[in-house]
Copies of this chain bind each other. A is one copy, B any other.
Amino acid sequence: MKTDMEKSKNILLTIEYDGTNFKGWQSQEGQKTVQSVIEDALEKALSERVSINAAGRTDAGVHAYGQTANFVTGSRLPVENLKTVVNNFLSVGNKRTYPVGSVRIVDVKTVQEDFHARFSCVGKTYMYKILLAKEPDIFKRNYFYRINKELNFENMAKAAKRLVGEHDFASFQASGGTPRKTTVRNIFDIRFDGEGNELYLFVTGDGFLYNMVRIIAGTLVDVGIGKINPADIGEILTSCDRKKAGHTAPPCGLYLYKVYYSKEEMEIWTDPVGTNIL
């Protein structure tokens, strides 16, 4: 028999955001962050303050198509109404001022009691967008990393192929992140795609060190412009020396693209390095 007091529910959100005007994901006192904006909207929807756990904490200026975050609530608001209600609060304004419409709940679902957006995650795909253009495009300034030199895509694909697999990525880690037990990570796939003068990089792995995708993107660009030889990637990896890898590409080109909770979901990304732009 159901009691009047509903059992608490564990809810998983899939979230899209334009990170341009945020100080990153994680709540910080007095700062406009994606997490705090969502928690404020949830507070209005659920009539209780909840704390959300994200799959990945993105930095200032980084975007997301498919960030995920879960929270536990005792609220009786039907889960099927949550998306609409929270999106309404997200677009009409909030305790903290923020750019209207820059965060959106894409999907809401109930998950098992022990599910955790970060710990249950088996892999993630990040997308990195590069604009190949001599002149700046002001409409893309916050969403792309513009490169005004010619890129050698074949060399970039060679270098990417060498990065795929289980490696110690210490050379591809910036200082300043949360300390980690190990710097070994498994990159399942690096894929290139593109349209017109836009180049997209998709990096899928079981986990990522601080700034790892941005350093991979920067290193591949350095390979593309001839500053780094693709044959040197192995040496860069084994050196475990951040100074050997390429530059850190800017945050505005980076998107948390997809978070996986089962290996089956990931399969479409696990072919060898692919590119249709060559």
Using CB atoms and an 8 Å cutoff, list the residues of chain A in contact with chain B. Answer: 16-18, 63, 101-104, 106, 135-136, 138-139, 141, 143
Contacts and interface: CB of A to CB of B under 8 A. Distances in A.
A68 to B, nearest CB: 16
A18 B137 CA distance: 10
A246 B190 CA distance: 49
17 contacts: A16-B138, A17-B138, A18-B138, A18-B139, A18-B141, A63-B139, A101-B136, A101-B138, A101-B141, A102-B138, A102-B141, A103-B138, A104-B135, A104-B136, A104-B138, A106-B135, A139-B143
The residue among A135, A141, A143 with the most chain B CB atoms within 10 A of its own CB is: A141
Copies of this protein chain in the complex: 2
A63 B138 CA distance: 10
Given A17-B138, A18-B141, A106-B135, 14 more contacts: A16-B138, A18-B138, A18-B139, A63-B139, A101-B136, A101-B138, A101-B141, A102-B138, A102-B141, A103-B138, A104-B135, A104-B136, A104-B138, A139-B143
A190 to B, nearest CB: 23
Shortest 3 CB-CB distances between A and B: which pairs? A101-B141, A18-B138, A104-B138
A128 to B, nearest CB: 15
Contacts of A135: 104, 106
A113 B179 CA distance: 66
A138 B139 CA distance: 14
A89 B101 CA distance: 30
A137 B141 CA distance: 17
Contacts of A18: 138-139, 141
A139 B127 CA distance: 15
A141 to B, nearest CB: 5
A135 B84 CA distance: 11
A57 to B, nearest CB: 19
Contacts of A136: 101, 104
A266 B143 CA distance: 33
Contacts of A106: 135
A66 to B, nearest CB: 13
Contacts of A102: 138, 141
